[in-house]
Amino acid sequence: AKAGGTVVIVGVVPQGMQVAFEPFDLLFRELKVLGSFLNPYTHGRAAELIATGAIEVDRLISRQVTLEEAPAVIANPPAPGEVKVLVVPGRG
């Protein structure tokens, strides 16, 4: 994210899970971190809409990165025209 930008972390995680990060970059660049709990009951409907072509998700995903690449992606401003970067664990 660019300086002053917002990083949104979306997902469903087990209770008690912890993530380590270095706060200096977050504070120095004045980033906002926003968490959003993903409702697991909407997956079926979303999958149906994607499968029928009602939602064209390919146009929303600018690129895919591995879990190892994610910190560098978050630390840098998005490329011009970049909409969504999909983090794919286990890819690579």
pLDDT at 39: 74
* Separation CA 59–CA 55 (nearest Å): 10
What's the CA gap between 28 and 63, in Å, rounded? 27
State the pLDDT at residue 28. 93
pLDDT of the chain, 92 residues: tens digit per residue? 788 988 888 777 778 888 788 889 889 999 999 888 777 778 888 889 989 999 888 888 999 999 999 999 888 888 888 888 999 988 76
Question: pTM of the entire structure?
Answer: 0.46
CA 79, 81, 86 angle in degrees (round to 5)?
Answer: 70
In the chain, where the domains are located:
6-87
Question: What pLDDT shows up at residue 92?
Answer: 63
Q: What is the reported pLDDT for 65?
A: 93
Neighbouring C-beta atoms of residue 17, cutoff 10 Å: 7
Helix runs in 1-92, H state only:
23-28, 43-51, 70-75
